[in-house]
């Protein structure tokens, strides 16, 4: 088993990826009033092989058909994760403009014209803050312009208006470098915007679903006290039928589109570990998978049967790590999120969980 759940790195630990946020948040934002939304951009300046897996029943996406392994375009220039429901997809236009200004995209002619490839997915956060405030093309441009290796977590970017069950959701990220094995030395990382209808904590223990009691100490947690658990249970259900958890899982191992698709599929296992239920008809759960291919893998010691691709053992190890690291990124999002618009953050609801 990989050790992804024990690490707190960032998506940008995968060489060749950068992350930027832009959001609008009023200090006095309340449900239905003020501003509380944003977007997050993952940039791949050298291009990244990409695929996607959509599991929720109500997705809001852009350019996902292009990522089918049988289709022609092999690499993307950026991925947009955004609030604002379907309105928020407008932010991708700003990301494209930012990329076009820098000549990044598919070359179309000898005059420097390009078409940037920017797939995207949305969360539904419109009831948090003013319904009419949602990410625009300018927000996408500013998020791309802010991209770097330092990744802010919690109630930022696309996670600004996110709500994870009854708790404040947000942006979380994590990474792991694989040890001995067929994918030794490869980095696997994830960035997730947690906004599910499902619960992100065990009502019996108060601990996040993505970690067991045996791992709680590694996260600096313990069981919260009984009074806090009683108060949390009294909050009831989320109270909105439109949700969605979206994210990116990435590796520096060289993978084709079909292998990337398998990594995205495996990443959803991690989502199901950390959110219960996940992939509901009320969610649009979507994971993109990226490969920058900046690290070569050691050929397997034992021959792989001819019926299988030679990199199958490495792919299996990467998929196992992808599930672990997506779960860790969701836990990171929940623990990092701060209270917004009266939606309590985990730390506010369970302060005794941090008395370790």
Average pLDDT on 181-199 reads 94
Percent of the chain with pLDDT over 70: 93
Name which residue leads in pLDDT, 2 or 220: 220
Q: Does domain 4-297+305-349 have CATH number 3.40.50.720?
A: no
In 3D space, the residue among 253, 204, 232, 260 whose CA is nearest the CA of residue 344 turns out to be 232
Q: What was the pLDDT predicted at 304? A: 63
Residue 92: both structure tokens together: 């991708």
Q: What was the pLDDT predicted at 3? A: 37
Say which residue the tokens 């990124």 belong to: 329
Q: Is the pLDDT of residue 113 over 50?
A: yes
Average pLDDT on 238-252 reads 87
pLDDT-based confidence at residue 264 (cuts at 50, 70, 90)? very high
Q: What was the pLDDT predicted at 305? A: 61
pLDDT-based confidence at residue 28 (cuts at 50, 70, 90)? confident
Average pLDDT on 321-338 reads 97
Q: What was the pLDDT predicted at 285? A: 94
Q: Report the distance separating Cα 24 and Cα 38, nearest Å.
A: 6
Say which residue the tokens 């429901």 belong to: 85
Q: What was the pLDDT predicted at 180? A: 81
pLDDT-based confidence at residue 7 (cuts at 50, 70, 90)? very low
Average pLDDT on 55-62 reads 92
Among 7-16, 49-58, 318-327, 337-346, the minimum mean pLDDT is found in: 7-16
Cα 178 to the center of its chain, rounded Å: 20
Q: Report the distance separating Cα 54 and Cα 48, nearest Å.
A: 19
Domain ranges of the chain: 4-297+305-349
What does pTM read for this prediction?
0.93
Residue length of the chain: 356
- Ramachandran bin of 212, using left for φ above 0, alpha for ψ from -120 to 50, beta for the remaining angles: beta
pLDDT-based confidence at residue 30 (cuts at 50, 70, 90)? confident
């Amino acid at each position: 088993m990989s050790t992804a759940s024990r690490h707190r790195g960032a998506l940008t630990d995968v060489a060749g990826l950068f992350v930027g946020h832009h959001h609008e948040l009023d200090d006095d934002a309340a449900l239905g009033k003020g501003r509380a939304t944003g977007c997050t951009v993952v940039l791949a300046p050298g291009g990244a092989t990409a695929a996607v897996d959509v599991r929720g029943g109500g997705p809001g996406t852009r350019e996902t058909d292009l990522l089918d392994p049988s289709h022609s375009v092999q690499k993307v220039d950026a991925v947009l994760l955004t609030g604002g429901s379907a309105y928020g997809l407008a932010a991708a236009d700003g990301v494209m403009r930012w990329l076009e200004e820098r000549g990044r995209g598919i070359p179309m002619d000898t005059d420097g014209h390009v078409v940037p490839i920017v797939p995207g997915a949305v969360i539904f956060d419109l009831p948090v803050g003013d319904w009419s405030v949602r990410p625009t093309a300018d927000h996408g441009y500013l998020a791309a312009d802010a991209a770097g290796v330092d990744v802010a977590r919690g109630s930022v970017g696309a996670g600004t208006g996110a709500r994870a069950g009854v708790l404040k959701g947000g942006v979380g990220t994590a990474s792991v470098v694989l040890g001995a094995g067929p994918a030794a030395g490869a980095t696997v990382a994830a960035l997730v915007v947690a906004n599910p209808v499902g619960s992100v904590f065990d009502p019996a223990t108060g601990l996040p679903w993505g970690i067991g009691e045996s791992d709680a100490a590694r996260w600096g947690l313990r069981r919260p006290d009984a009074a806090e658990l009683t108060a949390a249970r009294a909050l009831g259900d989320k109270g909105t039928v439109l949700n969605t958890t979206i994210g990116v899982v990435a590796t520096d191992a060289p993978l084709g589109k079909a292998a990337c698709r398998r990594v995205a599929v495996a990443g959803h296992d991690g989502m199901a570990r950390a959110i219960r239920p996940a992939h509901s008809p009320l969610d649009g759960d979507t994971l993109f998978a990226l490969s920058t291919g900046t690290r070569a893998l050691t050929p397997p010691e034992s021959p792989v049967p001819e019926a299988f691709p030679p990199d199958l053992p490495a792919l299996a190890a990467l998929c196992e790590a992808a599930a672990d690291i997506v779960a860790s990124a969701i836990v990171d999002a929940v623990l990092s999120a701060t209270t917004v618009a009266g939606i309590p953050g985990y730390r506010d609801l369970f302060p005794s969980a941090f008395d370790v």
